[in-house]
Structure 1
Amino acid sequence: MTLELLKADNLGAVQHGFFTRKGGASSGIFAGLNCGVGSSDQTEIVAINRARVAGAMNVDAGALAGVHQHHSADVVTVAAPSNERPKADAMVSNTQGIALGILTADCQPVLFADTKAGVIGAAHAGWKGALDGVLARTVDAMVALGAERSNISAAIGPCISQRAYEVGPEFFEDFVAQDPEFSRFFANGQEDRMQFNLPGFGLHMLREAGVQNAEWIGHCTYDDEARFYSYRRTTHRGEADYGRLISVIRL
């Protein structure tokens, strides 16, 4: 099956893709393009999937950079191919031929580009990373490489939608404790539960960081099982593990 990658109009001609689960070699609960090296899927199958992604991005498998994601606001600069996966949740680069790949399964994959300066970025932004400032820190790291905030475009890929993202009162309190205005990203749910607008919050944080050209390309990972993996869907079903989607950008 052919790989399926979704594009963001506002990233223009820069080579990028939010890959769906279609076209991969994994089977069972991971069926499709599982690129999660931290999953319990077969290591060699994940390597095949990642090699297919690298091929689709016209780079060698070794040039597909990744990080050991841990829901932080940590950002690393990638200058050359490496087998290392430093602990971080975002990457930036100004090196031709390097592809930055972020893994998600409900969290926001965010791809950045300043085509004039030749600087790109990729971030994994779940609720914690987004609240802690991973998106602003990615922009700061791009600026350190020569990007201009006014020239940076950012696109949020498929992630969990507000309708599917039920949270408890403690979650809501964490947000409004930081800024009471953040209450606008929540809607009332059943009883004391609320529905959180993750991509809406991501767009807000991007604009606060000076990125005015930002968009969410849509698509709810929870609702569309044929195309996307979802941590929350897996949790609701009591399954043992879940696949990870990959989103990639390169110069």
Structure 2
Amino acid sequence: MKEIRNCFNQDLKEYKSLAISLIAIRSLAKNKISDMKILAGATNFSILSSLPDSNDFDADCRKFLENTINLQEVLVNYDNHQGVFEELVHAKIIQRWYEFLSQLFKYILNSHFSNQKNYTTSKSFKFDTYLDLSVDTGDNIIQNIQERALEKFDFLKADDKLKQIEKILNKNVNNEVKKKIKKHIIVRNTWQHNNGIVRKYDLGQLGDSKIILMNDQAQELQVKENEKLIITYYELLEVNRDFRDVSNILIPND
């Protein structure tokens, strides 16, 4: 299981590097556009200098790529969507967390049925699945049970997934850390389902009247109902650290 944890933590490092790279590219591009406007007096530029003679581009796509783009519109569009790169990386981290928990659960099932457990588990843990006499035989029943259990696990709520892993491994993630993990997932869901605007439902899920994020000055910012969440690089550092800490609690080195 340490290998699963190490791969997860390595991916977290790569996502942090990705965020830095995207932010740097964004900053360089913005400065370059400003330089073009000031030094060359340019107001437009083309996305591509030429297009291949291919049917892969439909008429609308070809027209878009052949047209020039107004530099001022580019800057305005950017200013209206600040944080979009950070949102992308944030969503990737949350998805990787789900994958990490599923990988752990799959490993636990495989090691249990193969009698190759090299870790201590809770003796009281139970996970319900079902027997299908129309397809289950002595040759495939173990594999079928594992597949059904994993499928059921993947459909659990995020909180319940973590609780299941905690219980199986006989570990305890304190409530303060759990609330942080829950907040990160709620932030992702709010962006996915409501364009980042905080709803009463989101606050109810968190059990609070506000969602606290790190702003672009590395200071805490309280976001309340009907206000918009802005994900910054400093918030990504918090997300990265919290998930890494939980992975190390579930699977410690000693």
TM normalised by structure 2 equals 0.24
Larger radius of gyration: 2
Between Structure 1 and Structure 2, which shows a larger proportion of strand residues?
A: 1
Between Structure 1 and Structure 2, which shows a larger proportion of helix residues?
A: 2
